[in-house]
Structure 1
């Protein structure tokens, strides 16, 4: 009913579907498989980092907490439906935060990283955060440096 209100087509059979919403919050030992469709995974608060990275490796297009609010659910489904990546900010901060590099990101760098991981351009990020594109470029450079990577695409999988 929520999806119908948001004009998102729904069905319960995989034939002809455009995206898949898969509940891994109650996975209970089921093997993780590469999805046939762009897939949004529902994960629980206690999901272990290795399992999340396995989903990333399997090319899931989005990750949200199973107990997220309705607005987050709708935004994430719509984003994946449009072919975008979506990582719930709570999932990103918990599992994909820069603890790998030993350097902490500023709050603004974490915001920029969130949008980078969704595939946004510097100009889109600048508009969203109401800052200059040159400032975004500075933040992107700082994030790349702190993660020890050269390309922004390396940040898409929570590079270690």
Structure 2
């Protein structure tokens, strides 16, 4: 079965461009589109897409609130990939905090767009460490600091979290630590559980906001 994608952007030209890129792939199918975040939840109920590709800046309901609405409405929500013009967009950071699985620049090469969709559909987070560090530099969160302290991560779990913050996949972390991929998966799951994080993105954001990892 092909990966099914819902496109959400208030610019018809952007939607048309994305659709042309994705429909050229044999394993991806665009099943619907919307011009605003307010239409997303009903469309997901009807179409059940695997991935929602969503602009963060829209006039009625932006990508941040739409992401929150999706996660509140569905116990097993689709993956959410936000798209933006500027990598330091404050909206992007808030969308990631809200639960988006990653972000993509609108000027990305078509092959990068296709790869990003396949990546998040497979359950990976799409992080750009340098951009995330810059966005996180202006955010501190005492609550996140308290969560990290209560989590009492082991030394190995702390090391895995730092490697996650570098944007490394499980396979790359396994190579770095000279352990098996299944062992890394176990450590990643433990980190997410202890931090109460939905996914790797939220765990990394918590690591920055708590001061566990310092930007730069």
TM-score normalized with structure 2 length: 0.46
* Among 120, 126, 140, the residue aligned to 1:86: 126
Shift of 1:28: 4.3
The equivalent residue for 1:156 is 201
Q: Which runs of 5 or more structure 1 residues have no equivalent in the other structure?
A: 101-109, 135-150
* Among 7, 10, 20, the residue aligned to 2:52: 20
Which one has the bigger helix percentage?
2
Shift of 1:152: 5.0
Q: 1:76 to 1:88 in 2, by over 3 A?
A: farther
* Among 24, 40, 50, the residue aligned to 1:5: 24
Matches within 5 A, 1:95-114: 95-96=135-136, 113-114=165-166
The equivalent residue for 1:133 is 178
Kept in 2: contact 1:64–1:91 (CA 8 A): no
The answer on 1:39 being equivalent to 2:80 is: yes
Shift of 1:20: 0.7
Q: 1:3 to 1:58 in 2, by over 3 A?
A: same
Aligned length: 127
User: Matched residue of 1:115: which SS?
Assistant: coil
Q: Which has the larger radius of gyration?
A: 2
**Partner Cα distance (1:10, 1:84) in 2:** 20
The equivalent residue for 2:61 is 30
Kept in 2: contact 1:65–1:91 (CA 8 A): no
**Partner Cα distance (1:124, 1:38) in 2:** 22
